[in-house]
């Protein structure tokens, strides 16, 4: 029975438990001597300082690169050479690993002289007092104190592994890793309570994507593009996309054409939304805003789709009628409404990053004749942030493939 339980444990959860437990076990066998107690307290202080420095570095990186709004951090940001800012724009992982590491190093170097004075003035006398106390106590007290002083190290190890998983899954999408991270309750606790409040970028969001077997197919299965008289516009809109792309005929059990099928009520609503507006970008934005505001994300449906999409109704009509859906429903409804007001629109599928994992996702592109370009629009992500023609859209969307154009 115990073996069956262990087999059912999530691998990410197991790793985090082990990482958290090892320092606590070492605390049980802590060397009981005056120098051993001193060394333990110094190590404990080093871990606490490193944790504080790491969070300070993340905070400063966030303020300088992601949250600079006309204040002191804004001035620092614009001291960075323009060509470097251009290279880093939208590259959240590179920013945190590069700039964040440099800031952390500088903080630790600047603090070190003060910390050494503090250690000698405070920690050494404290260690001597603790040694005297433990000498008079029994073995249980020594074990308790040994475990207690290792708690910050255990917390630091878990946070470091959590950050590493977050960065790694962002850089290297893996179906197995994403599935494990998505299903690990312990990882989600660390992410929601610690990482997400600290990180404020494309790495940290609470946006839903569908992690399923289809995700593995998206990464691993490539097919030669079917004949198309017009080149597919790439996600970053800088030129044609790859000559290889995944061909999708069905999504969530329905064809693309069936999914974007409209009704007179949907068409009338779209016309009412845009009113007398003639500008294509403004019309596209008004519809984007309406869909993101009026359709709620259906988490129950997403969970069912992740296991088996058969027999589940999807598309424009179901989203409009029930006022809820998943990304494919959002995107299908957006297509229907754009067509009703004369906008040229595409339905795009690919991968998107939720903050914890990459997964299958659908979004749209709209053509602006006034500007002679296609823009990316994500009505699902629009629930949480502005994803209308977002400058760094490619930071959390990749492997874009146009499934239909109208």
pLDDT at 121 over 80: yes
Q: What's the confidence (pLDDT) of residue 175?
A: 67
Q: What is the per-residue pLDDT across 281-318, written as a single tens digit (0 to 9) for each?
A: 999 999 999 999 999 988 888 777 766 666 677 889 99
The residue written with tokens 């440099």 in the block is 102
pLDDT classification of 386: cutoffs 50, 70, 90: confident
Q: What is the per-residue pLDDT across 6-48, written as a single tens digit (0 to 9) for each?
A: 445 788 888 888 888 888 887 777 666 777 777 777 777 887 7
* Mean pLDDT along residues 393-402: 83
Q: What's the confidence (pLDDT) of residue 317?
A: 92
| Cα–Cα separations (whole angstroms), residue 345 to 42, 72, 210, 335, 367 | 62, 42, 23, 6, 6
Q: How far apart are CA 400 and CA 227, in angstroms?
A: 17
Contacts of 300 by beta carbon, 8 Å cutoff, 6+ apart: none
Q: What's the confidence (pLDDT) of residue 8?
A: 57
| Cα–Cα separations (whole angstroms), residue 74 to 58, 90, 226, 229 | 16, 17, 48, 47
* Mean pLDDT along residues 250-269: 83
Query: Where are the domains positioned within the chain?
Result: 2-198, 213-405
* Mean pLDDT along residues 258-277: 92
Q: What are phi and psi of 4, to 5 degrees?
A: -65, -40
Burial bucket for residue 111 (CB in 10 Å: 0-12, 13-18, 19+): middle
Q: What's the confidence (pLDDT) of residue 231?
A: 35
Q: 50 near 151, Cβ under 8 Å?
A: no
Q: How far apart are CA 390 and CA 402, in angstroms?
A: 18
Q: What's the confidence (pLDDT) of residue 204?
A: 44
CATH class of 213-405: alpha beta
* DSSP-based three-state secondary structure for 402: strand
> Sign of dihedral through CA atoms 275, 279, 281, 284?
positive
Q: Identify the top-confidence range among 121-130, 225-234, 326-335, 348-357.
A: 326-335
* Mean pLDDT along residues 161-186: 75
pLDDT classification of 344: cutoffs 50, 70, 90: very high
Contacts of 398 by beta carbon, 8 Å cutoff, 6+ apart: 173, 235, 350, 351, 352, 358
**Pairing between strand 254-255 and 223-224?**
unpaired
Computed over every residue of the chain, the mean pLDDT equals 76
Q: 165 near 187, Cβ under 8 Å?
A: yes
Q: How far apart are CA 59 and CA 103, in angstroms?
A: 10
pLDDT classification of 129: cutoffs 50, 70, 90: confident
> What DSSP character marks residue 122?
I
Q: 154 near 23, Cβ under 8 Å?
A: yes
Q: 255 near 249, Cβ under 8 Å?
A: yes
In percent, how much of the chain has pLDDT > 70? 76
Q: 375 near 225, Cβ under 8 Å?
A: no
Which two structure tokens, joined as six digits, stand for 183? 């299903």
| Cα–Cα separations (whole angstroms), residue 50 to 85, 163, 204, 405 | 28, 14, 22, 52
- Helix (H) and strand (E) counts for the chain? 19, 10
């Amino acid at each position: 029975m115990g073996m069956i339980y262990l087999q059912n444990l999530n691998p990410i959860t197991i790793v985090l438990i082990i990482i958290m437990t090892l320092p606590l076990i070492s605390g049980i066998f802590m060397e009981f001597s005056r120098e051993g107690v001193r060394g333990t307290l110094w190590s404990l202080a080093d871990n606490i300082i490193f944790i504080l420095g790491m969070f300070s570095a993340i905070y400063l990186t966030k303020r300088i690169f992601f949250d600079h709004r006309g204040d002191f951090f804004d001035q620092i940001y614009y001291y960075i050479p323009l060509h470097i800012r251009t290279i880093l724009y939208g590259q959240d992982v590179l920013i945190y690993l590069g700039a964040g590491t440099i800031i952390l190093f500088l903080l630790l170097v600047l603090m070190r002289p003060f910390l050494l004075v503090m250690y000698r003035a405070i920690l050494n006398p404290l260690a001597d007092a603790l040694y005297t106390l433990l000498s008079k106590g029994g073995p249980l007290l020594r074990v308790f104190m040994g475990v207690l002083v290792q708690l910050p190290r255990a917390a630091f190890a878990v946070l470091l592994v959590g950050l590493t998983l977050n960065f790694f899954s962002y850089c290297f999408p893996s179906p197995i890793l994403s599935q494990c991270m998505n299903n690990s309750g312990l990882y989600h606790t660390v992410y929601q309570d610690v990482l997400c409040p600290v990180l404020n970028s494309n790495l940290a969001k609470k946006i839903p994507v569908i992690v399923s077997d289809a995700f593995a197919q998206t990464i691993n299965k490539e097919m030669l593009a079917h004949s198309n008289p017009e080149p597919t516009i790439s996600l970053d809109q800088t030129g044609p996309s790859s000559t290889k792309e995944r061909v999708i005929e069905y999504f969530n059990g329905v064809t693309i054409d069936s999914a974007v099928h409209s009704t007179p009520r949907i068409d009338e609503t779209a016309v009412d939304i845009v009113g007398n507006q003639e500008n294509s970008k403004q019309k596209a934005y008004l519809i984007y805003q309406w869909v993101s505001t009026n359709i709620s994300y259906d988490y129950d449906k997403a969970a069912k789709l992740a296991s088996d999409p058969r027999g589940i109704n999807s598309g424009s009509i179901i989203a409009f009628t029930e006022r809820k859906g998943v990304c494919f429903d959002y995107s299908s409804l957006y297509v229907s409404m754009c067509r009703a007001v004369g906008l040229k629109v595409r339905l795009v599928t690919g991968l998107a990053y939720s903050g914890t994992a990459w997964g299958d996702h659908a979004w749209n592109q709209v053509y602006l004749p006034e500007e002679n370009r296609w823009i990316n629009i994500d009505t699902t992500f629009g629930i949480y942030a502005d994803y209308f023609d977002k400058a760094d859209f490619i930071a959390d969307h990749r492997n874009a493939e146009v499934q239909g154009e109208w």
